[in-house]
Structure 1
């Protein structure tokens, strides 16, 4: 009854089906590998972030020196200390920043260091809707020491809903490129979230850089594609058996004279 499987038509169709199954399984395995790679990277970053947060405070110029002059995924969240004087004349508000589910502003005050550069210090977060311009405590004068966590420069547009022209004294994103447009001196890469905000401000949590390799939507897309390719392979097998069964039933009918040969 199944002699038709040895005909050229069925041999060719079976070969095509096998190739399709192999291709689907290979593509599904590749997508699964991509997901596992992203999962591994996520775990490595989580371990690095935990280690960075647990490490004792180090001088800023030792962490961002030489080859480490830029904030990386290994140094985000690292506790550093730096001394200098706040430049209150160039204090900035960064709108549309959310802490504990509430909208508000980062309060950014440049800290001039003895070497002439400045580090952007976010002294804390103040509640307020865009356009409200909340009152914030003044930065202390004279030499100060600040301890805080390194943060990566923000991507353009990371502020969310706020876009277009901002009022004087406000900044859309925190990064060397945007700060150089408003400050008359060079700045360190990234910014610093102060560990001890003044009264009236809330502490800013550590923000992992976007595209850092964590478990993003793209990672779960890889997992979804894995399932799709395996389903496609199963569908090919299902259709092959269904066609074989239908052909066998037709051959049996012909043998019984129930269908014209």
Structure 2
């Protein structure tokens, strides 16, 4: 659990970096969708997390304008003064209250992600990217715009212990034991969706990987991620992302 000022500053920096990267990759949706990060519990034990201010595009999010909310949706700290999106709170609070292994929750509405979430087959193990997610994807049926707090229990039940969820007819939801892990999952999930759309769009016969090969590949990815998240190995991919953003959007750290 984070408990030092420097840890919280790093968390804010990394969350702002995630917003900026999603914008840089064209995976944002105007002022909608959210990336959240769990903070240390408040003095009274209340769970708290960081979310983007409502009304800002992802490329406007910085470390200093992130909003702190508690598990009830009450704003604890709001430097920008615009509050947060109620639908964003519904989905993210559900996950953060139930999954203490998830530091970050990243939700997107990309064209590719929405497309794959809108077909019953979901994501097929067609390539190395998508094999990472073999047997590791949960599904939640669409219930309308997520304003009903009662939906939280159903989201949590459908998610179970998985880190990847397709919100049917809606988009994707990704968890990470760190912000970096959630971002890496999201990038590869988006690539997988795009590759599937491209492959099936050729009108040829898709070559789905055998289950054993896909599972082996998923395990290889998992061990690599575990080395960073559990064993403290360096994460050159995340460091490369931070270097990119320091060139392209240096204000994110402010």
Please indicate the TM-score interval, normalised by the length of the shorter structure: under 0.3
TM-score by length of 2: 0.23
Higher relative contact order (CA 8 A, sep 6+): 1
Q: Which has the larger Rg?
A: 1
| Structure with greater strand percent | 1
Q: Which has the higher helix share?
A: 2
Q: TM-score, normalised by structure 1?
A: 0.22
